[in-house]
Structure 1
């Protein structure tokens, strides 16, 4: 798939095209993150516990790239659809900070895996806080109070991505939903080849492609192409669960279709 197709299908955020939100701050933040040695080291190290030791799905740099890209594409579609976000605004921050919150939370949400897979969001909080305390002063547009408020919003989104805590902002809801949008078969290739046969690994093998697009009667439609009914676990148990109580339930529709031959299908279409 070409880069143009990826952008068109809502899979890759392109900083060089026009967006439905102010993107100058975001694009500078993204460039800084990509060149930050500590952050990149975390993204590699955080994959050891889930993949190498537990034979679980990828949670390293590739996962983070996919989640961040889809979070920003989801946010862009929601903004284009007229959805009003509240996280930055409640804190008196600028509209341009909505996407910064989403991008930083998506980047740092899984670094707690360097401690343990179990309860990793709670370990991510202090580690991410340290990174943000170092990183945010480098951006000249934030004073001390704004850095505190922005950090709080990023940490809120990190905490709510994989816990019982309900997101209180739509920025956090976007990160929560986008974490589950990384479900395609490539994510489970390494643990599958190593003998991992847990339901997350097997069900990921059945997902061929995930696409985000503008809907006719909702801002966003998530289209999921499955090759086997096992993919329903990813759609119903994981993605639906994260969409529930995200604040985006009325703005996002999920459609999953099985692409196998008709006589081989156990499930043809799932719509949530």
Structure 2
């Protein structure tokens, strides 16, 4: 397994690490190196990635999505850096799942093999946020519309059979549409994209928003997360470990990452843990881990506390459904 540093990807022993490094170009370069290494054995998926990273339309989409989210809304990074960081993370997760014998939906449906899975995951992950350039509201559906011509341009030369190409493309579009859990993804590929998106919570992502004057729980809590490690788990195929310098980072884990594990097919395959580094603030809790839909907190005094994850998106969805008289089971 490879490690990704700050969304970047140096080679170390253990897992893929995401932590904070400064230069934007270096982040993209290191993430790109990790992506190429993961796709080296999959020439069609690698060709798709190379076409995407050089596509002028995709490059413009990333820049404009970032302009709207950061400059107009004061959000964290949603542009090129985020696309490359999450792209590298998604391949690390995919590799761990396939190594553990997990059959994704592209495989289970008979649509394709591992190469098609890697291609769908990298394209879906790197294009998932481009709809933000139109507006944050409805950005998932906007992203589907904007991604279509890019996918057709990239996939056309790679899939001679339009029947198969259209089927593989459907998994990519589904992942883009469901990456923010509105609605929650139904496929493993969609779950990989959602979880990879949720792993980009380190302080490198929040620093620019903070510097631009967006001082809120999102930017502050992002500054409290030093590192995210994606590696092989003991009880499940994937272990995601978050290291914080301050307990404020728990907001990122609880509000951003945990729901993307809990509300997707990845729930069965991912262990999630968070801890404050020893040299951080005065410790109140020593470790947090996800158990089902609860966080289990190990306090410094030796006590253990279980807290249900606050999934605000699900609460809003349930409230709307209740007002419409629709049961949760029927949705």
- Residue-by-residue CA offset, 1:86-145 (whole Å, 9 max, x unaligned): 135415223310111101101111110110112210111111112212222122x33111
Within 1, Cα distance between the matches of 2:152 and 2:280? 55
Residues 1:53 and 1:7: Cα distance change in structure 2 (over 3 Å): farther
Give the superposition deviation at 1:17: 6.2
CA contact (8 A) 1:121 1:163 kept: no
Unaligned runs of at least 5 residues, structure 2? 18-30, 291-331
CA RMSD in angstroms, aligned pairs only:
2.1
Unaligned runs of at least 5 residues, structure 1? none
Give the superposition deviation at 1:34: 1.5
- Residue 45 of structure 1 pairs with residue 64 of structure 2: yes
**Residue in structure 1 matched with residue 16 of structure 2 by the alignment:** 10
Within 2, Cα distance between the matches of 1:124 and 1:243? 22
Give the superposition deviation at 1:38: 1.2
**Residue in structure 1 matched with residue 138 of structure 2 by the alignment:** 119
**Residue in structure 2 matched with residue 95 of structure 1 by the alignment:** 114
Residues 1:76 and 1:244: Cα distance change in structure 2 (over 3 Å): same
Give the superposition deviation at 1:9: 3.0
CA contact (8 A) 1:10 1:74 kept: no
- Residue 148 of structure 1 pairs with residue 166 of structure 2: yes
**Residue in structure 1 matched with residue 289 of structure 2 by the alignment:** 271
Give the superposition deviation at 1:5: 3.1
Give the superposition deviation at 1:57: 0.3
Within 2, Cα distance between the matches of 1:7 and 1:93? 31
Within 1, Cα distance between the matches of 2:268 and 2:78? 29
- The TM-score, its normalising length taken from structure 2, stands at 0.76
Give the superposition deviation at 1:250: 2.1
| Residue in structure 2 matching 1:29, options 48, 63, 75 | 48
Q: Where is the strand percentage greater, Structure 1 or Structure 2?
A: 2
Give the secondary-structure state (helix, strand or coil) at the position aligned to 1:208.
Answer: strand
Within 2, Cα distance between the matches of 1:36 and 1:238? 29
Q: Which of the pair has more CA radius of gyration?
A: 2
- The TM-score, its normalising length taken from structure 1, stands at 0.92
Give the superposition deviation at 1:46: 1.0
- Residue-by-residue CA offset, 1:35-67 (whole Å, 9 max, x unaligned): 211111111111011101111100000000011
Within 2, Cα distance between the matches of 1:243 and 1:179? 11
| Residue in structure 1 matching 2:75, options 56, 63, 77 | 56
- Residue 130 of structure 1 pairs with residue 149 of structure 2: yes
| Residue in structure 1 matching 2:252, options 234, 237, 244 | 234
Residues 1:201 and 1:3: Cα distance change in structure 2 (over 3 Å): closer
Question: Where in structure 2 are the equivalents of 1:161-240 lying within 5 Å?
Answer: 161-240=179-258
**Residue in structure 1 matched with residue 26 of structure 2 by the alignment:** none
Within 1, Cα distance between the matches of 2:161 and 2:56? 24
